[in-house]
Every structure is written in structure tokens, then in C-alpha cells.
Amino acid sequence: MSLTVVGSVAFDALETPFGAREKILGGAATHFGLSASFFTDVNAVGVVGGDFSDAEWSLFERHNINTDDIEVVADGKTFFWRGKYEYDMNVAHTLDTQLNVFETFDPKLSENSKNAEFLFLANILPMLQKQVREQCKDAKFVAMDTMNFWISSMKDALLETIKVVDCIIINDAEARQLTEEPNIHKAAKALLALGLKAVVIKRGEYGATLFTENAYFSTPAYPLESVFDPTGAGDTFAGGFMGYISAQNELNDAVLRRAMVYGSVMASFNVEKFGTERVDALTYPEINERFKTFKTITHFDDIPFEKAVSA
């Protein structure tokens, strides 16, 4: 099966307590597509400028990501973001944002992208997300992302978009802001009431939580001694989550739970180096080994109850 992602392709400049990079490949569609490509065929839809070189295209080529629908504006510049992290790596400090060609991004989907069985709408204008969803009429499962800016400035349009997708993947602060509920369980319930099949709430270094109509599942973040760069971790999580789902023959709570773990696995690799450096060099044995470790650190069924509660 195939998976289409619509979102940003960008250049990032980053500074963290562990180093800096002046210009590296980034963007939601990039991080998502790279992560998902380990599980399924990916079509990327985005826009870049004439400054996007062969070195950047080669990453997509190495991972067999279809870039036919990434528009090139020859006389324009690619979306650029500069950010800085202090020791609290959950908070990104934006120093500069240059939308460039992304400011007038109008997603153009080929029949191949429209016909994908799975669709991820990365963080773009809610009205554009809805337009893309309407073009992909036969998609079996559609997930989306959003951000606090759209919640505060275009909430009504955002809610209309949410009503036509199957899953939303957002962080805990966004869930609270969107629903005006201080508790994430109540927030998830309010979102499910809009017609969603699943709500995934990311909690940074504390993991992520899945809510469906009949189930609740939480996965921790992988215990890492060093986090070099959390940029793109959320999109990498979404890529692993959607990529795994796309590779399955059915969709149920068990598949969604395993997808949560694979999303967490992929995100854990992403933060180990800057930008796409770690995931670009990732191997399938590494992914499988970390998945097994996740299972080990969260498994407790074999502990006898009487032993677990004894003094």
C-alpha cells in the first residue's frame, strides 16, 4: 500500500547545548516521509525553491520517496527556520522564520498521490488540509497535525478539517488549547466526539498516548542518555505511526498500539543526531532491536500478582 504526505520541505539552522548546524534539511514532509519510508511507499507533496540542490534530493532518492509532487519554484527560496534549544529540549526558541515559497504553497497532487490508501496532512493551513482531503476521496485512513497558531487564529476552520479525517496527532498543550479542557483524557474525549477514530497526544520526553472509542494506550519515550536535536521528532513519530499502519492488511486497536510503539521507536532515533542525520543512516535491524527493547521495558504480565504486592 502507499502513503501520501503533504507538508513542508525546509532548511533548518539549529543550535543546541550539544552543537550547531547552520543549514540542514528539515520540514514536516521530510521527517515524516523519511520515517515512513522504512515501512511503506511514500509520496511527498510540497514546494521548494531553486536553492534546493542535488544533495537534498538525494536523501529522498536513497529512501525511494516519490518526489514527483514536490514543486520547484526556480526563482524562489526554500522555507527556512532557525531555532535554538536550551537544556530544556521540550521548548524550541524560534530565532527566524522565512516562509519563502511555502507562503503561497498550493498543494498539487498527481493521480498517484490522490489514490494512495493512506494520507497524512502535516502542519499547513487548515483550509488546505481540507482541500487535500477532499481530493483523496478513497483514502482508508487519514491523519493530520496542527499547531497552536491555527488553533488560536482559525479554530472554526480547523474543527471543520478535523471532522473529515480519521486521526489527529498533536501535543498535550495543543489538545488542551483546542478543546479548552485542562485534562488530556477529557480533551481526547472531546476530540473523539468530532467523529475521529483515534486521537494521539504526544507528550515529548514522557511518551505518547492513544485514545480510541473503546481503548486507551500509552507508550513511554525511549530512555536516551543524550538528546542532540528534537526538531522533527513529532513528524518522525507520525511517520513511523502512519508508515506501520500503511503496511498492515487491517486496522484495529492492536495495529494502532503497535504503530504507537513504532512511532516512538523512530522518534527516539531522530533525536540522537541533528536533522535527518540519524534516521537517514538507520537500518532495519536497529529498528527491530529497539522495538524489542520497548516491549521489554513495558512488559509486566509475567509478574505474579501476589509477588507484586507482597511486602
State pTM to two decimals: 0.94
Sign of the dihedral defined by the CA atoms of residues 221, 224, 225, 228, in that order: negative
Here the contacts of 287-290 (C-beta below 8 Å, separation 24 or greater) are 287/38, 287/262, 290/222, 290/265
Q: Are 205 and 264 within 8 A, CB to CB? A: no
Q: Give the mean model confidence (pLDDT) for residues 70-90.
A: 92
Q: Give the mean model confidence (pLDDT) for residues 265-284.
A: 96
Q: Which of 235, 205, 224 is nearest to 25 (CA)?
A: 235
Residue 305 vs residue 114, higher pLDDT:
114
- Reported as a single tens digit per residue, the pLDDT across 99-130 is 999 999 999 999 999 999 999 999 999 999 99
**Cα gap 10→102, rounded to integer Å:** 9
Query: Which range among 3-12, 158-167, 211-220, 277-286 shows the weakest confidence by mean pLDDT?
Result: 211-220
Residues making up the chain, counted from first to last = 311
User: Which residue matches cell numbers 493512506?
Assistant: 118
Percentage of the chain exceeding pLDDT 70: 96
**What pLDDT does 89 receive?**
75
**What pLDDT does 300 receive?**
73
Q: Are 113 and 29 within 8 A, CB to CB? A: no
**What pLDDT does 304 receive?**
66
- Reported as a single tens digit per residue, the pLDDT across 147-176 is 999 999 999 999 999 999 999 999 999 999
**What CA dihedral angle connects 49, 28, 30 and 255, to 10 degrees?**
-150
Amino acid at 72: V
Q: Are 117 and 94 within 8 A, CB to CB? A: no
Q: Give the mean model confidence (pLDDT) for residues 282-292.
A: 96
Q: How confident is the model at residue 91 (pLDDT cuts 50, 70, 90)?
A: confident
Residues whose CB is less than 8 angstroms from the CB of residue 12 and which lie 6 or more positions away in sequence, other chains included: 21, 23, 24, 25, 26, 27, 80, 81, 82, 83, 231, 275
Q: Going from the N-terminus, what domains does the chain have, and what CATH number goes with each?
A: 2-308 (3.40.1190.20)
